């Protein structure tokens, strides 16, 4: 229940910020163009309280997950996501009203439509700039290359020829990827072969990895394709040994450094967990460094919390803040936005070419889960990353030339500019009504897909 409440609260805060910034973009440009803004609301009706300044009612409404801007003249099809019709008398009256949206030149209406998505793109850049310029959490000790810590035998990675110690130099169409990009492109290529180039010693090898179908899952991990990344230089440090566990019975103590497991020099505790999962309870020969002396211990893993474990807490990698100069922070923020924007475009392209399943997309429930997880994780990076990613996605998706979205309104305005006359209102109404039905069906499907990914449902799947 605690995690559920955190997820809901984090989702409401996240979406409210993203939507309000989006609407603020429309609001600012509308004001600059002289369009009358009747209401700027934080949340959706019913209205709770507010203040009217000039023509605009600035208010807070009861449904806080979002917000909206109400402009005079936007209640006709093609204007700001509206699907409602308007009688001819109202249309003529609004065209004669200098403050109405529809009385303004099309180029101004295009700018107003663009302003919302652009505001989201600016917010994403600003969030990452603030993170890199004032925080920038980095491990005190880290491995900067995409080095493979261990490869699960008989896994897709092993079948591809990837070996422990390999450095991944290219994955899919990305050169010198980090682990986040390898993870993202694994998801994009679920059930498909992916070209991989690895560096082994002084040699460069071109391989092909068949990404498992599990990459479509909500909780996919690179270990499911057989790759365990080396995030830290190692060895695994023991911080605490839990009583009456295999670790205690084997003689493991706090302060021990696990140099090797069955001869494998593991550097990261997740690699050890994957190794025990593969061994299914097989005894482990631990090479341990204690007070300068090397010891050999034998440990028998046991099922703890439904997984094979020894029962010790590893020392968390130390982190430190390393803020970057403004120029470097701006470069890193721009790179973050470019990479994530490219991923959005890649997802859309693969959706249309049927190389990516719609069921892999996250809707409100999935975003709420991610927001809750980010809120509970240590450090600021997960929070800034998720906020920037959602803002980028909201901005780019709203630019799609689909009726109901800002991009659809812009497309209509561009077509009308080329024709030099308005598209017939009845045609607009029918297009927007059909688009609304399609969008609602899509939304319901995404919600259903989200719900079926929840742990309470996934554990009953065969």
How do the domains of the chain map onto residue ranges?
2-130+389-458, 148-229, 236-317
Task: Give the angle subtended at the CA of 150 by the CAs of 186 and 378, to the nearest 5°.
Answer: 70
pLDDT bucket at 149, cuts 50 / 70 / 90: very high
The predicted-structure confidence for 53-100, as pLDDT tens digits, reads as follows: 999 999 999 887 778 899 987 764 444 444 455 555 666 666 678 888
As a whole number of angstroms, the distance between CA 36 and CA 56 comes to 8
Spatial CA neighbour of 43 closest among 16, 24, 23, 74: 16
Is the pLDDT at 3 greater than 90, yes or no? Answer: no
Give the residue with greater pLDDT, 115 vs 447: 115
Using DSSP, state whether 153 is helix, strand or coil. coil
As a whole number of angstroms, the distance between CA 344 and CA 332 comes to 18
What DSSP assignment string belongs to 386-417? HHHHHHHHHHHHHTSS-TTSHHHHHHHHHHHH
| Residue carrying the six token digits 């609001």 | 27
As a whole number of angstroms, the distance between CA 203 and CA 184 comes to 26
- Compute the CA torsion angle 256, 260, 265, 268 (nearest 10 deg): -40
Query: What's the chain's average pLDDT?
Result: 84
Burial class (CB in 10 A: 0-12, 13-18, 19+), 197: middle
As a whole number of angstroms, the distance between CA 372 and CA 354 comes to 31
As a whole number of angstroms, the distance between CA 198 and CA 182 comes to 13
Spatial CA neighbour of 363 closest among 436, 437, 441: 441
Give the residue with greater pLDDT, 228 vs 405: 228
Architecture field, domain 148-229: Roll (2.30)
pLDDT at 378: 72
Q: Give the β-pairing of 56-71 and 236-241.
A: unpaired
pLDDT at 298: 93
pLDDT bucket at 4, cuts 50 / 70 / 90: low
Residue 435 contacts residue 408 (beta carbons within 8 Å): yes
The domain made up of 236-317 is a member of CATH 3.20.20.140: no
As a whole number of angstroms, the distance between CA 158 and CA 148 comes to 12
As a whole number of angstroms, the distance between CA 183 and CA 170 comes to 13
Check if 148-229 and 236-317 are the same fold.
yes
Count CB neighbours of 49 within 10 A. 7
pLDDT at 218: 64
Q: Which residues, including other chains, have CB under 8 Å from residue 119's CB and lie 6 or more apart? A: 21, 22, 24, 25, 26, 395
Among the ranges 90-104, 258-272, 372-386, which has the highest mean pLDDT value?
Answer: 258-272
pTM over 0.95: no
Is the pLDDT at 32 greater than 80, yes or no? Answer: yes
pLDDT at 320: 78
As a whole number of angstroms, the distance between CA 93 and CA 103 comes to 10
Alpha carbon separation from 194 to 153, 179, 443 (Å, rounded)? 19, 15, 31
Spatial CA neighbour of 319 closest among 144, 136, 171: 136
């Amino acid at each position: 229940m605690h995690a559920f409440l955190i997820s809901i609260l984090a989702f409401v805060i996240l979406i409210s910020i993203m939507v309000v910034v989006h609407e603020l973009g429309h609001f600012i440009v509308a004001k600059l163009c002289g369009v009358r803004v009747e209401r700027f609301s934080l949340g959706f009706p019913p209205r709770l309280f507010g203040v009217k300044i000039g023509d605009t009612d600035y208010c807070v409404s009861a449904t806080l997950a979002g917000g909206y801007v109400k402009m005079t003249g936007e209640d006709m099809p093609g204007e700001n996501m509206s699907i409602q019709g308007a009688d001819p008398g109202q249309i003529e009256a609004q065209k004669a009203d200098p403050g109405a949206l529809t009385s303004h030149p099309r180029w101004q209406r295009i700018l107003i439509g663009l302003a919302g998505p652009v505001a989201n793109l600016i917010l994403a850049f600003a969030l990452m700039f603030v993170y890199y310029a004032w925080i920038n959490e980095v491990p005190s000790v880290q491995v900067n290359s995409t080095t493979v810590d261990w490869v699960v035998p008989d896994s897709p990675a092993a079948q591809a020829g990837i070996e422990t110690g390999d450095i991944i130099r290219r994955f899919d169409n990305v050169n010198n990827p980090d682990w986040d990009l390898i993870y993202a492109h694994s998801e994009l290529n679920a059930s498909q072969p992916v070209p991989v180039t690895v560096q082994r010693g002084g040699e460069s090898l071109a391989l092909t990895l068949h990404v498992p179908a599990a990459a479509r899952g909500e909780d996919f991990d690179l270990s499911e394709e057989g790759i365990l990344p080396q995030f830290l230089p190692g060895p695994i440090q023991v911080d605490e040994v839990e009583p009456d566990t295999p670790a205690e019975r084997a003689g493991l103590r706090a302060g021990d450094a696990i140099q090797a497991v069955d001869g494998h020099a593991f550097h990261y505790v997740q690699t050890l967990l994957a190794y025990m999962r593969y061994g299914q309870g097989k005894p482990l020969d631990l090479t341990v460094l204690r007070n300068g002396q090397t010891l050999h211990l034998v440990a028998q893993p046991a099922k703890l919390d439904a997984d094979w474990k020894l029962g010790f807490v590893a020392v968390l990698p130390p982190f430190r803040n390393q803020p970057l100069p403004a120029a470097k922070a701006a470069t890193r923020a721009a790179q973050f936005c470019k990479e994530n924007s490219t991923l959005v475009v890649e997802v859309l392209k693969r959706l249309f070419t049927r190389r990516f399943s719609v069921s892999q997309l996250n809707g409100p429930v999935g975003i709420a889960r991610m927001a809750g997880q980010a809120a509970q994780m240590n450090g600021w990076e997960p929070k800034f990353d998720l906020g920037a990613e959602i803002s980028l996605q909201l901005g780019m998706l709203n630019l799609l030339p689909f009726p109901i979205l800002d991009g659809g309104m812009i497309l209509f305005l561009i077509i009308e500019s080329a024709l030099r006359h308005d598209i017939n209102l009845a045609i607009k109404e029918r297009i927007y009504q059909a688009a609304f039905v399609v969008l609602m069906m899509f939304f319901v499907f995404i919600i259903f897909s989200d719900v079926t990914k929840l742990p309470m449902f996934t554990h009953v799947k065969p």
